Amino acid sequence: MLIQIRQVLSPEEVAHCRRALEAAAWADGRQTAGEQSAKAKFNLQVPEDSRVSRELGDLILRALGRTPLFTSAALPLRVYPPMFNRYDKGMKFDAHVDNAIRYVPGTNGFRLRADVSSTLFLTDPASYDGGELVVEDTYGTHAVKLPAGDMVVYPATSLHRVNEITRGSRWSSFFWSQSLVKDDGKRAFLYDMDMAIIGVRKSLPDDHPSVLALTSSYHNLLRRWSEI
């Protein structure tokens, strides 16, 4: 299930992130990759423990908190601190699957299971060529290149890549979520059901028996499938 979410960040927030990142120190992205991924990864990243990364990460976490569609899609239990990467001309990230377990920085070895991957675009797509995020899932191959401030959410189990940049530079934030519902199929079912409930509520009052029945079924399924 691949879901695009519009305007997670406002234009003003995107501009703020860009100004901060332009002044940041960038490092080889392979420093944070696993053994296999490091062979396929050619990009730059802002160090996770830097002040810029922490401050902008907090801004994005606040934005996620006001984005109901992200909650519906990811059903997040925990969210890994957002990170920031950059692909200049000639850079790419060949096909890979994200590590299943991430150690959360700044904690005493706390671990997070990466169920859902998210990429938040910070660059106008007209300013660069290439750089598409290409995700393979059971429904085929999807190339994603979104406006600055928009985000894509997809299962971390998906094989994916970032196409080579042939002009310009592509900047983004990326992070993972441990979901309340580990299974991709069950999570997708709950998302579709939630969207259906939202649609029904637009034409029926909240206390209509059909709305109440659908909402009850959604929460009872979430209760049954949730890991907490």
Query: Is 98 labeled as ligand-binding?
Result: yes
Query: Is 160 labeled as ligand-binding?
Result: yes
Measured CA to CA, the distance from residue 228 to residue 225 in angstroms comes to: 9
DSSP string for residues in 75-123:
-EEEEPPPEEEEE-TT-EEEEE---SEEEPTTSSS-EEE--EEEEEE-S
Measured CA to CA, the distance from residue 3 to residue 178 in angstroms comes to: 17
Which DSSP category does 146 fall into?
-
| Strand (E) or helix (H) holding 173 | strand 170-179
Closest CA to 82 of 33, 42, 44, 117: 117
Structure tokens at 115: 């169920």
Residues sharing a CB contact under 8 Å with residue 34, sequence separation 6 or more, in sequence order? 99
Structure tokens at 13: 């927030």
Query: Is 111 labeled as ligand-binding?
Result: no
Q: Kindly report the backbone phi and psi dihedral angles of residue 3, in degrees, each rounded to the nearest multiple of 5, phi listed first.
A: -125, 125
- Feature table: binding site: 96, 98, 160, 170
- Feature table: binding site for 2-oxoglutarate: 170
- Feature table: binding site for Fe cation: 96, 98, 160
